Structure 1
Amino acid sequence: MKRLSDMTLEEKIGQLVMYGKYGEAQQKALAEGRIGSFLNNRGEETQSRQNIALDSPTGIPLIIGDDVIHGFRTIFPIPLALSCSFDMGLIEETCALSAREAAMEGINMIFAPMVDISRDPRWGRVAEGAGEDPYLGSEVARARVRGYQRNDWEDLPKIAACAKHYVAYGAPQGGRDYDGADISERSLREIYLPPFDAAVKAGVMSVMSSFNDLNGIPVSGNERAIRGILRGELGFEGVVVSDWESVEELVNHSIASDGREAARLGFKAGVDIDMNSGVYERYLKELVREGKLTIEEIDEAAWRVLKLKERLGLFGKKRFVIEEARRLSLENPAAKELALKAARESMVLLKNRDLLPLRKGTKLAVIGQLADDRPDMLGCWAGQVEAQESVTVLEGLENLGEEFLYERGSEINSDIEGGIGKAREIAAKAQVVLMVLGETSSMSGENRSRADITIPAAQRRLLRSVMEVNENVVLVVVSGRPLVLSWEEANVPAILQLWQPGHQAGNALAEILYGIHNPSGKLTMTFPTAVGQIPIYYNRKNTGRPLFKKYIDIQDEPLFPFGWGLSYTDFDYEDLALSTDSLKGGEELRVSARVTNRGDYDGSETVMLFVRDVTASVTRPVMELKGFEKLFLKAGQSKTVQFEITEETLTFLDENFRPVLEKGRFEVFLGRNSVEHLKGCFELI
């Protein structure tokens, strides 16, 4: 294997080239040692290409990347759903298993986690993130990086996580995917950068530069964003890989006149690896000869790539032999149990007017195409699986031994001739009607923005008609984003947000419906009352006229706020206590309260701590999440939960974006969500 100093310029540039295609040109370049990475190939394909690379003049193995967003062979809930578990250990375990399954097919770079904060549910890729809050988003980023990069095996490729999409990709105008992010420097630093900072501190090995324009300069050509902030301020020393052809797309953004100029701008900005466009392969050598790039700059980027390959343990291999990942997939009881647990913990009970849990033997009618649907239980980016491996809602009920009548009623977006009539007929015979409605997997994810985020019209007509003959409806919402459910919240007695929960969807739902498992998920993204409220999020600013009504035609409040999530039991919060009402710099303040399960069911409750800086030199949000803890309490049991407030908790960025700690009054809120909580206050002196 060649050292960097022994490589030709073409071979060095080859280490900066990644392809998702494999035509004659790529085959020739690979055999000549002029390609360093591939994506979207697995198993025998990967084995073959790795061995060709070993036989090439450089003898340097390949980085093999793939989008393992929420599972590879075992599919877990979409990341937005799993964030609602507020269980960082569970999230980490799902990523560790996903990484191991991917490694068994030769993958060594996972294009995840997506750590984009988003406040706009119209954007389809909210499904891939952790919601609207930068504190929670940072905690999830750490957990996912730890899981993907656990690498606790000896006989498989090591995995590099790739935090994406750097940066502010989650703030597209109008919720339109790929659109520009026109945001303030404060929003960039306080909302969108923290999860990337957390990923870097957790040791993430690679970062993906995003498609979007950031305040006039597309990120994949933005030297300040990549070299200045990511490397200079956050201290990232790993590899930056572009998103799919995002370097060449600088031409479409109109900041590069052609591919040559795009290659120069992308490379100068700090993008080490060009994904699939080929502009580095075509133009970097010429740019060096023209004096527009230097050999030293090429060496620096190539060295980072080679250093990553060394960390992944790729050097020193004589042959690559890829195992079949199915050996660790659904036949593995531990994987199946983890998928079941993840699905159960992710569901959010939005409303329950004493209809749930169901009693065994309840005369049940099930209505909705999604109740007998396999692929749409998996969500977007559903890994490398066959749809038949997922458990439908109907199968989950059958697995519990429950009997029911079933009708589709309608298609997702259209009526079925006679469908509503048949649905009404079985609904009239039932004690309870389970209606499974919402989105398909293809309605969220990349390039899947929606202007109307209600349940599709055909399904809404079906719901309203069924309720005319039986009001005892449990609405199960399948979606990859928060939906506008205003009519449903006002009229349907029970609503359960299923999300797209993965392979064990049906089994997990059945256990929730019949009280075998008590729901404990809490929303990490606000559900709007109407699309006109978007963007809507809990940690807003107060404005100069906080008591004025925001809208004249709808309520100001969201339909379901951040942290909302019901249980089959009742949790009481009492005895809020602060260890002091005057905190000095360098000291810690302890905030505690007693939480009691007053109901008849054992259950888990996520306790949240919010803080407000009442008066500061720059405007601060009305509250900010600063901690959370998930408790399990048996019926009648009490526990005291305690949080510590430190200087770091109270520090913010001043008008010059420098961290500052200012004296003054602070309010603390400890409770079940962003609107229901106990309140205390203290002075920082």
Structure 2
Amino acid sequence: MILLYLTLSCLISWTLAAQRSPHHPRADAAYSPPYYPAPNGGWLSEWTSAYEKAQKIVGNMTLAEKVNLTTGTGEFMGPCAGQTGSALRFGIPNLCLHDSPLGIRNSDHNTAFPAGVTVGATFDKDLMYERGVGLGEEARGKGVNVLLGPVVGPTFRKPRGGRGWEGFGADPSLQAIGGAQTIKGMQSTGAISCLKHFIGNEQEMHRETSVLGPGYSSNIDDRTLHEIYLWPFAEGVRAGTGSVMMAYNDVNRSACSQNSLLINGILKDELGFQGFVMTDWLAQMGGVSSALAGLDMAMPGDGLIPLLGDSYWGSELSRSILNGTVPLERLNDMVTRIVATWYQMGQDEDYPLPNFSSNTLDETGPLYPGALISPTGVVNQYVNVEGTHNITANAIARDAITLLKNDNNTLPLSKNASLHVFGTDAGANSDGLNSCSDQGCDNGVLTMGWGSGTSRLPYLVTPQEAIANVTPTATFHISDTFPSGLTPNASSIALVFINADSGENYITVENNPGDRTTTDLYAWHNGDELVEAAAAVFSRVVVIIHTVGPIILENWIDLDPVKAVLIAHLPGQEAGYSLTDILYGDYSPSGHLPYTIPFNESNYPASVSLLNQPFGQIQDDFTEGIYIDYRHFLNANITPRYPFGHGLSYTTFSISDPVLTTVTPLDSAYSPSRTAKGSTPSYPTTIPDPDEVAWPDNFNRIWRYLYPYLDDPDSIVSNSTNSSAAYPYPDGYTTTAHPAPRAGGGQGGNPALFDVAFTLSVLVTNTGSRSGRAVAQLYVELPDTIDADVPSRQLRDFGKTGTLQPGGSETVVLNVTRKDLSVWDVGVQDWRTVVDGEGVGLWVGESLGSLGERDVRAIFGRGWGL
């Protein structure tokens, strides 16, 4: 492959000296400082209209109505994974919040889209957006107000972590672009996206605080937080996401759901987030503490233990308002953020009510399954929301398929080739489609991982079916044990299907508790042995892998008979024909690895291993800092088996004719000063009349349902007036607002951070003999003179061509923003950018590996290098 290298001589340098900051935290210093009070929403122009509408409504709400909208009604107390109470006087119904990032979970007549990691492997912004539109349309069609996705955390820091596959890959820019495109697509339909999980939730085991002890603490230094883990969340906020979900774990020894620095300081103040912040399910740790820390919505509403009918909020939040421990201003902002988001997405205009139940597929059933005695009714209307989304799903599954190896042009296959197909991963689930709850098994072709990030498959064409449809010359051995006595013809080709699975911690599959603990990074079901056995008999072996993430290939990758290897990722419902499109050459493969594949797991930093201890809180120190995935391999000078971004084609491409255009001059090390915050809604601060949360007359209570009402609300006001005891507020609590963060000023941060500094256009030409699509990946190399520890290359943009015929060309335009050329200055608390002078390298290639090995300092000022 050809590498292009450009230096921006005399354009970019440092004018301010900066002390080199460490990229790892001291374990004994990892404590999250307090940040109070919670900033009010409504000060950005993009949300002005929605907040004006919300202010009129909230200003006339009773205390009960306000509390109702902030608190879930309880586990299994409605059709969705969670639902808030309602404010029916104002046309606001119970808001339905429901999984998942790849489809409508536990529903019917919906599309099971490819998983996020598959979408990331396409490196196709248009498909990312189209999938978002499809998800939003199906959410709206089912009456889901808030669809719980996309996922941009975890980010494959831990390669064996259970849920990396729900996100888009191991690079913050890839995650950011995938997440932002998904949000824009989803919310174009009126559905509210929920960006998650904020933040540092990188393994499944021990993530949750329970009666057995606290969840682990992800101890992350400030610079690493901003440059790696916060980066995609900032882009999601910039894209206008309506909600953000907090993670289960602690960050720097403070639970995410009540971490005031994360919610108040970073998310709402620095990033200018205008929507509402919710818990993950049962992740709320306290009532007053979480409200003051900036939490806006508790899901599903229950306290630490569900189905007991109690809550940290609900009636307890009503009590906290009446006795003055939670300022009414805080509750008003909570409710205003929720209602403003409802208006922002146009859900006040004929948005459907839920027409499905995630609790049963029966047409009728209990309306509140969590109650022992519940009224019944129609719970499933079987509304078909699939539309033509199978076209998008198939395109993603196909264009994500990543060709790792193709010796002697073994692929594509001839339709009359003699094939033997091995492995249960080629076939159907032997127990039936969707027979495993939340896909909690590894039986048949792996279409997705397991857990809440899944959906039911409306249908599935397996690889076995698709291959049989293309050719009559295939023999199938749908077993993970190689048959004895098999003597193929010399011309026969073996197709060996293997996989590696993972998922969410509440399900254990084959002794893997979400994270890959039993199998490590190797194939499941003795897949390596199956490949080796085939290679001992066949002279040509093609390996097809469905995997949740990085997988070790060393047992067989260099065996001479292993001629070709494809990673098909997690294809969703379109597993079969998307694969045969590639195997038989109807399309050239155009997917690229969204993570690095190492030679051995020991190639990773020791600090990214899974942690397990029976007692006490696990302290997970992110001592590798900014050096995860390919950044680590570059920094440690370790050659991987396959680099990030790797992906072959049946044709070849050249990248040439670079044109660099300066768009916004970088004439200062820091962004221009932010504008002042706009005004926010204001309301009377008088304690409401206690009667507003008294039980209504003749009210028909549902047992275990969470209500905002109190038995004797008048006594609360009276007792609080006569009490001299001061409430024990959290350390550092204050009602005096912080100065506006200099790095803020707009959605995602200071708007100047997102100014395009340069555009780089390149000409991509198909130089081969078959049609195909190419990806141009742009990596930035900051100069040595920045006096900060930085990776030698960082992905910042990418672009994918359309289908190019042999000899055809297309110009791809790539953008570099001010933020792309910045590092986080911990002391100043702002992004510091290189300015006019020394060279910044812009590397463009088809993968990180195509950029070559060279001392780049030796070619500063020489323009493009080959």
Same fold judged by TM-score > 0.5?
yes
Q: Determine if contact 1:671/1:677 at 8 Å carries over to the other structure.
A: yes
Q: Which amino acid aligns with 2:75?
A: K
Query: Pairwise mapping of residues 455-494 of structure 1 onto structure 2 (< 5 A)?
Result: 455-456=523-524, 458-491=526-559, 492-494=562-564
Q: Which amino acid aligns with 1:498?
A: A
Q: More deviation in 670-679 or 600-609?
A: 670-679
In the aligned structure 2, how far is the partner of 1:370 from the partner of 1:239? 41
Ranges in structure 1 where 5+ consecutive residues have no aligned partner: 28-37, 152-157, 249-261, 411-418, 551-555
Given residue 838 of structure 2, which amino acid in structure 1 is its aligned partner?
G
Count of aligned pairs between the two proteins = 619
- AA matched with 1:227: N
In the other structure, the counterpart of 2:425 is 370
Tell me, yes or no, if structure 1 residue 134 matches structure 2 residue 172: yes
Q: Deviations over 1:576-609 (max 9, x none)?
A: 67679xx974996564554432221111110111
User: TM-score, length-normalised on structure 1?
Assistant: 0.82
| Structure 2: 5+ residue stretches without partners | 1-53, 105-109, 210-214, 303-310, 357-380, 434-444, 508-512, 609-627, 669-755
646 and 92 in structure 1: CA distance in 2 versus 1, 3 angstrom threshold: closer
Contact map agreement 1:15 1:305 (CA 8 A) in 2: yes
Tell me the equivalent position of 2:629: 537
State how far apart, in whole Å, the 1-side matches of 2:775 and 2:424 are: 33
2:411 and 2:499 map into 1 onto residues whose CA distance is 20
Give the SS at the match of 2:631. coil
Could you say if the C-alpha distance between residues 621 and 123 of structure 1 is closer, same or farther in structure 2, counting changes exceeding 3 Å? same
Deviates more, 1:656-665 or 1:60-69: 656-665
CA distance in 1, matches of 2:352, 2:175: 40
Which structure has more RCO (C-alpha within 8 Å, separation ≥ 6)?
A: 2
**RMSD across aligned C-alpha pairs, in angstroms?**
3.4
Aligned to 1:286: 319
Partner of 2:580: 510
- 1:421-436 matches, cutoff 5 A: 421-422=483-484, 425=486, 431-436=492-497
Deviation string 1:279-333 (CA, Å, 9 cap, x unpaired) is 212522333344321222222212222223334445587995849565332xx4x
User: CA–CA distance in 1 between the matches of 2:312 and 2:504?
Assistant: 32
Match of 2:448 in 1: 379
1:15 to partner: Cα distance: 1.3
Aligned match of 1:205: 242
Instruction: Specify whether residues 626 and 315 from structure 1 end up closer, same or farther in structure 2 by C-alpha distance, changes over 3 A only.
Output: closer
Q: Which amino acid is 2:774 matched to? A: E
Q: Cα distance, 1:136 vs. partner?
A: 1.9
**Which residue identity lines up with residue 672 of structure 1 in the other structure?**
E
Q: Secondary structure at the match of 2:412?
A: coil
Identify the residue that residue 345 of structure 1 maps to in structure 2: 399
Identify the match of residue 416 of structure 2 among 346, 349, 361. 361
Question: Which residue in 1 is equivalent to 2:139?
Answer: 102
Q: Which amino acid is 1:197 matched to?
A: A
- Separation in 2 of the partners of 1:584 and 1:303? 38
1:624 pairs with 766, 772, 794, which one? 794
State the AA in 2 paired with 1:268: L
Match for 1:620: what amino acid?
V
How far apart, CA to CA, are the structure 2 residues paired with 1:351 and 1:318?
A: 49
1:608 is aligned to 777
Q: Give the whole-Å Cα distance in 2 for the aligned partners of 1:459 and 1:321.
A: 43
Structure-2-length-normalised TM-score = 0.66
Query: Is 1:60 aligned to residue 115 of structure 2?
Result: no
Asked whether the 8 Å contact 2:204–2:514 carries over to 1, the reply is no
Match for residue 833 of structure 2 among 636, 661, 681:
661
- 8 Å contact 1:125–1:444 — kept in the other structure? no
Matches for 1:155-234 after TM superposition, within 5 Å: 158-170=190-202, 179-234=216-271
> Structure 1's 476 and 445: CA in aligned 2 closer, same or farther, altered over 3 A?
farther
Compare CA radii of gyration and give the structure with the larger one. 2
Cα drift, residue 212 of structure 1 = 1.4
Paired AA for residue 252 in structure 2 = N
The separation in 2 between residues aligned to 1:458 and 1:60, in whole angstroms, is: 53
**Equivalent residue of 2:630, what SS?**
coil
Pairs within 5 Å for 1:375-414: 376-380=445-449, 386-387=456-457, 389-410=459-480
> Which residue number corresponds to residue 235 of structure 1?
272
1:259 aligns to what? none
Q: Percent identity?
A: 27
Q: Please give the secondary structure, in 1, of the residue aligned with 2:135.
A: helix
Query: In the alignment, what sits opposite 1:301?
Result: 334
Question: SS of 1:504's equivalent?
Answer: helix
Q: Corresponding residue for 1:437?
A: 498
Q: 1:458 to 1:173 in 2, by over 3 A?
A: closer
Answering whether residue 675 of structure 2 is matched by residue 651 of structure 1, we say no
CA 655–682 in structure 1, closer or farther in 2 if over 3 Å, else same: farther
1:143 maps to a residue whose letter is: Q
| Alignment partners' CA distance in 1, 2:787 and 2:111 | 49
Q: Give SS of 2:390's match.
A: helix
Alpha-carbon spacing, 1:285–1:579, altered in 2? closer, same or farther (3 Å): closer
Q: Given the superposition, is the C-alpha separation of residues 326 and 181 from structure 1 closer, same or farther in structure 2, using an over 3 Å criterion?
A: same
Larger proportion of helix: 1
- CA change 1:460–1:190 in 2 (3 A) is same
Which residue does the alignment assign to 1:30?
none
- Residue identity opposite 1:521 in structure 2: G
Change (3 A) 1:284 1:559: same
SS at match of 2:486: helix
What is the alpha-carbon distance in structure 1 between the residues aligned to residue 634 and residue 536 of structure 2? 43
Q: 1:613 to 1:205 in 2, by over 3 A?
A: same
Residues 642 and 335 of structure 1, relative CA distance in 2, 3 Å threshold: closer
Report if aligned partners of 2:760, 2:815 keep a CA contact under 8 Å in 1: yes
Q: CA deviation at 1:146?
A: 0.7
Indicate how the Cα distance of structure 1 residues 287 and 377 shifts in structure 2: closer, same or farther if over 3 A, else same: same
Could you tell me which of 59, 69, 79 is aligned with 2:101? 69
State the one-letter code of the partner of 2:95: I
Aligned residue identity for 1:263 = G
Which position in structure 2 is the counterpart of 1:267? 291
Rate the CA distance shift 1:230–1:136 in 2: closer, same or farther, 3 A.
same
1:454 is paired with a residue of what secondary structure? coil
